[in-house]
Amino acid sequence: MRDRVSGEKRAEAMAGRVVLVTGATRGLGRAIVAGMIAAGHTVIGCGRSAEAVAALSQQYSSPHRFDVVDVARDCQVAEWSEAVLSAGLVPDLLLNNAAVMNATKPLWEISGREFQEIIDVNIAGVANVIRHFVPAIIERRTGVIVNFSSGWGRSTSPDVAPYCATKFAIEGLTMALAQELPPGLAAIPLNPGIIDTDMLRSCWADGASAYPSAEEWAEVAVPYLLKLTARDNGRQLAVPV
């Protein structure tokens, strides 16, 4: 109990907000980390690569915190949340960004194993983070939860059916969550827009370079995310890139 209380005092003493980012080691997540820290906020992040997490931890020391976590593994998320919350780091802004893309091919050519991995990360991973962090946010009575969707969560294209399915699911999951939250909180499904990342290049290599880099995107996205409030609860939003 003493550790929990002292952790809460440390959190209160820190300037800015506590921002939690999943999938923090690459792409949009990595760009968000840099942007939020530059803006004076404390960032809690996770990723599956121990090497990438170590690099982030070396670049950004305490009060920032980065851990090796596979969000698809509920037990890992549970352990992570216990450590983070015990340190008094209750997120003001929770960004469920971690996601994977399927190999671009027709749905019937996607193996059961690949399909399940996409479901486990893109849907169950989001639910796992919500399960273990949102009760503390509710207890504090304020906070914003942003679940990253996609343009492919509101429209479809061939050869990305599994990814589309997961992002359509995120839209529905988030809208239902928004109806469940008490006043003072918000859940928002966010289309980040089209950004030149490794994920986009994996399915559209020829056209990816026509779009902003993750770093360019973050210059717009970070201020946009920080302006979200409880008034945005349940709104289907998009970063204006």
CATH number of the domain that residue 189 is part of: 3.40.50.720
Q: What dihedral angle (degrees, nearest 10) is formed by the CA atoms of 104, 238, 41, 185?
A: -110
Residue 209 has a pLDDT of 62
Q: Is residue 213 a part of any domain in this protein?
A: yes
pTM assigned to the model: 0.91
- What average pLDDT score do residues 83-112 get? 97
Q: Is the model's pLDDT at 201 over the cut of 80?
A: no
The 8-class DSSP code of residue 136 comes to H
- pLDDT band at 210, cuts 50/70/90? low
Comparing 110 with 12, the larger pLDDT belongs to 110
Residue 94: burial class (beta carbons within 10 Å; 0-12, 13-18, 19+): buried
Count of C-beta atoms within a 10 Å radius of residue 96: 29
Q: Is residue 56 a part of any domain in this protein?
A: no
Q: Is residue 32 a part of any domain in this protein?
A: no
Q: Is residue 144 a part of any domain in this protein?
A: yes
Catalytic residue ranges: 163
Q: What dihedral angle (degrees, nearest 10) is formed by the CA atoms of 95, 2, 70, 76?
A: -140
Residue 206 has a pLDDT of 64
